[in-house]
Amino acid sequence: MNFSVQATLENEKYQLLPLKESDFNRLYFVASDPKVWEQHPNKERFKKEIFQNFFQGALESKGAFVIAEKDSGEILGSTRFYDFNEKEKSILIGYTFYGVKSWGKNVNTQIKKLMLDYIFQFVETVIFHVGKDNFRSRRAMEKLGAVNLGEEEVAYFGESPKINVVFQIKKDVWKFKQDLH
């Protein structure tokens, strides 16, 4: 399949820009707040050396983005596409985090909509791994219309495995939901 998992995506307010090595300091500025990671599987990612591992995995995935406010260029967080399965026509979206100032402002919903509208041109299924205790993200998945498939142990890049909740959105369900709006 010929598509880019790191295409620049944008709407009126936000941009998803391919992650570059030079983004480290600006992204770490957002990630260095311990509150950002309270519900994530690795609560220590606010520490620079642990975040460096996360960032390295993001670069190596070749599907990671910085999330930026379009007008100001301010970095709000990061997300990525990963584990494309051509046979199953599926891909994962995850490793998403936002700075506290973006919480509760509908940013995640808009970013996921951008990603899903784009990627459903190429796949039939999108899967999300959400940390078991990440109740904010679990609610966000439900708001998007994702189906909870149960729990699974997931090993993040360079980290020990953690229990995650697996969510799924099918292309036809997503398109139907968008047509209703």
The pLDDT of residue 181:
66
Cβ proximity of 36 and 151 under 8 Å:
no
pLDDT digits (tens, 9 = 90+) for 54-68: 999 999 999 999 999
Return d(Cα 44, Cα 124) in angstroms, integer.
34
Mean pLDDT is lowest, of 1-5, 21-25, 87-91, 129-133, for 1-5
Burial of 125 (0-12, 13-18, 19+ CB in 10 A): middle
User: In the predicted model, what is the mean pLDDT of residues 119-135?
Assistant: 94
Dihedral of CA 117/118/119/120: which sign? positive
User: In the predicted model, what is the mean pLDDT of residues 137-166?
Assistant: 90
The pLDDT of residue 2:
63
Residue closest to 147 by CA, chosen among 114, 122, 169: 169
pLDDT digits (tens, 9 = 90+) for 70-98: 999 999 999 999 999 999 999 999 999 99
pLDDT of residue 117 exceeding 60, the answer is yes
Return d(Cα 173, Cα 141) in angstroms, integer.
14
Phi, then psi, of 34 in degrees rounded to 5: -55, -30
Return d(Cα 127, Cα 139) in angstroms, integer.
15
Cβ proximity of 133 and 164 under 8 Å:
no
Residue closest to 39 by CA, chosen among 139, 133, 109: 133
The pLDDT of residue 101:
93
pLDDT digits (tens, 9 = 90+) for 3-18: 788 889 999 999 999 9
What is the third-level CATH fold of 9-180?
A: Aminopeptidase (3.40.630)
The pLDDT of residue 70:
95
The pLDDT of residue 26:
97
Mean pLDDT is lowest, of 43-47, 146-150, 153-157, for 153-157
Q: What is the mean pLDDT of the chain?
A: 92
Q: How many CB atoms lie within 10 A of CB 81?
A: 26
